[in-house]
Amino acid sequence: MHQVMLQPGEVLHVGEQASVQFAGPCELTFRVIRVDPRSTYDGWIWLEGYVLSPTGVAVQRRRIFVRRDGLRAA
């Protein structure tokens, strides 16, 4: 899997590969507004952004902690 570009405006699919908390019905589509530059555990990052509805409307602002390699472009 290639790494997605993580920059403001990028739309990602966040599922179980990114973190077990996003497995199954908890999967989401996420528009990035900020990537936290601080160092965390190897391979993990904090992202700020909006959860998108199936029609692409922002419905909730969230900060999520995910495995970078588990993210994929939506």
How many Å apart are CA 5 and CA 32, to the nearest integer? 10
Query: What does the block give as tokens for 54?
Result: 């199936």
Residue 4 inside a domain? The answer is no
| pTM beyond 0.75 | yes
Considering its fold, how many domains does the chain have in total? 1
The confidence score (pLDDT) of residue 39 equals 85
Residue 2 inside a domain? The answer is no
pLDDT tens for the chain, 74 residues: list them: 456 778 999 999 999 999 999 999 999 999 999 999 988 899 999 999 999 999 999 999 999 999 999 999 98
Residue 49 inside a domain? The answer is yes
Domain span at residue 33? 11-73
Residue 5 inside a domain? The answer is no
Query: What does the block give as tokens for 56?
Result: 């692409």
Residue 37 inside a domain? The answer is yes
Count of C-beta atoms within a 10 Å radius of residue 56: 10
The confidence score (pLDDT) of residue 2 equals 52
Residue 50 inside a domain? The answer is yes
The confidence score (pLDDT) of residue 1 equals 44
The confidence score (pLDDT) of residue 27 equals 96
How many Å apart are CA 36 and CA 59, to the nearest integer? 21
Residue 3 inside a domain? The answer is no
